[in-house]
Structure formats: structure tokens, C-alpha cells
Amino acid sequence: MQNLLTCLIVDDELLAQELIEKFVNRIPYLQCVGKCFTAMDALVMINEKKPDIIFLDINMPEMTGLEFLKSLTNTRPQIIITTAYSYHAIEGYEHDVADFLLKPFPFDRFLKAINKIQQRMIDNKNNAPVATEPKEATVSLEGKDINKEESEEETYLLVKQDKKLVKIYPHEIIFIEGMKDYLKIHTKTKFIVIYMTMTRIEQLLPKSKFLRINRSFIISLAAMKSIEGNMIEMSNDRKLDIGSSYRESLKEYFKSKTLI
């Protein structure tokens, strides 16, 4: 039996609240404990109800959803942003939100977001480190074609941060998480959100050092700790699922690396 998760809906549109509540009611282990039309009301209700999850709209009166996020402490609930504007995605992920739902979203996408939060909570319970550095502000990525033969100096990616280009070395990356047109690069010390597709980042990364294990994840082989069943455990203790269409090819790949 799954543990009950409580949630708070924060949206200034009644129809949006009703749709989310309808989806919540379809999931037996999810319970809505309150609905708010403003972020100010939500601040009060968080202290009273202590929800596990907040469904948060961005464009609201008095205080925007992003301003609301900045006001929360590190011991905050899991956040799922719900908005009709995709350009909020980068700034939202810089605040380490669990997921981003672009309105109108179907039930299966809603359920996927809840499953992602469940995995996050399992990771947190097992003391897996969770990146919470909101200072990175990336909008694009440029880099060398590092599939080519490397020189003496390790090649690197150049990530555009505001008006600066910041180096990211491949050995710093643990895994890369795809989120539609955005990527979340998890490194040993932080995470960085960029606007780029999984296909493009695959072209930039050295194929001998990185491996795609499903539609949403590319892992660093050096950061892999273990494989059990269809799960790969990474050096930061995150466990990632091997996609069904990738299993046979990965099985052959790892078979060639096995000594016994």
C-alpha cells in the first residue's frame, strides 16, 4: 500500500483548480487538503496543512508563483508548476521544482509528475543529495564537438549563463535529465538547466563516456555505481530506470564489460 500524499492547489482560475482536483481524486494515494487563489493565502495554508506537494500557477495577483517560490525555505513541499506559458520553465527549474506541467495537460502527464515526486521522496529518504542551487541562470548551450579526438586539455561544454560562458567538463556530469526542450544537467556539485534537446546533447557528449538509458536520461559511465534489474544506481545514489526499448542494447553493452 502506497503512503498517502497530500497536496495544495494554488491557482487564480477556478476552472484550473477544478481540473487539478479532478485529477487528484483519480489517484487513491493523493489527497487535496486545500485550494488557494493567491500565493499569499497559500503561505498561510502551508503552515496549517503542511502539504507534501504544491501545484503552483505562475501568473497570479499580489505575488507571482516565482516570487512565492523564492519566499519558501529549503524545507518546502515538492513543487509542480502549472502554467500556460512555456517560457517560465527555465526559471522554474532553477528553483528545483519537481516538474513543469504546461496547460492544458492530460491526466497521464499529471500522473507522471506525481510518480516523479514519489521517486524524489524515496531518494530523499535514502539521504540522496538533491541539488538546490537557484543561482544558475542558463538560457542556451554552446560547445565543441567533443566526439572528435581529444587534445591534451580535456574538452568542455560552454554553457551560456546570463552574459557569461561557463565551462562544464564532462567528468563533472553525473547524468542529464531531459524535459521536452530543456535539459537538467546534474553535476557533482550543482545542477544547470539549459534550453536544448536530448538529441543535440548526445551529439556533443563523447560517446565513449556517456550512455542513453531511456528517453529522458543520459548517464555518465564513470558515475555509475551498480545495475540491479532494470535500475541503474548513480554516484549520487539516484536510481534511474532503463527504458524498455534500450534494455537489449544496454544488456549487450554491459555484457561486453563484465569480467565474470
Task: Encode pLDDT of 134-143 as tens digits.
Answer: 333 333 334 4
pLDDT 10s digits, 209-221 = 899 999 899 999 9
**Residue 2: band (very low, low, confident or very high) from pLDDT cuts 50, 70, 90:** low
C-alpha distances in angstroms, 223 versus 109, 120, 185, 210, 247?
29, 19, 13, 10, 19
Q: What CATH number has the domain spanning 5-125? A: 3.40.50.2300
Spacing of C-alpha 131 from chain mean position = 10
| Beta pairing, strands 191-195 & 53-56 | unpaired
Residue 6 — pLDDT band, cuts 50, 70, 90?
very high
CATH class of 138-257: mainly beta
Q: How far apart are CA 180 and CA 209, in angstroms?
A: 23
Confidence of residue 205 (pLDDT cuts 50, 70, 90): confident
**Report field, pTM of the whole predicted structure over 0.85:** no
pLDDT in the model for residue 111:
93
Tell me the pLDDT tens digit for each residue of 53-72. Answer: 999 998 887 788 888 888 87
- Measure the CA–CA gap between 133 and 215, rounded to whole angstroms: 25
Sign of CA dihedral 90, 92, 97, 98: negative
Burial environment of residue 68 by CB neighbours within 10 A (0 to 12, 13 to 18, 19 or more): buried
Q: Where are the domains of the chain?
A: 5-125, 138-257
Cβ neighbours of residue 151 under 8 Å, at least 6 residues apart?
none
Mean pLDDT of 229-240: 90
| pLDDT top residue among 20 and 92 | 20
pLDDT above 90 covers what percent of the chain? 31
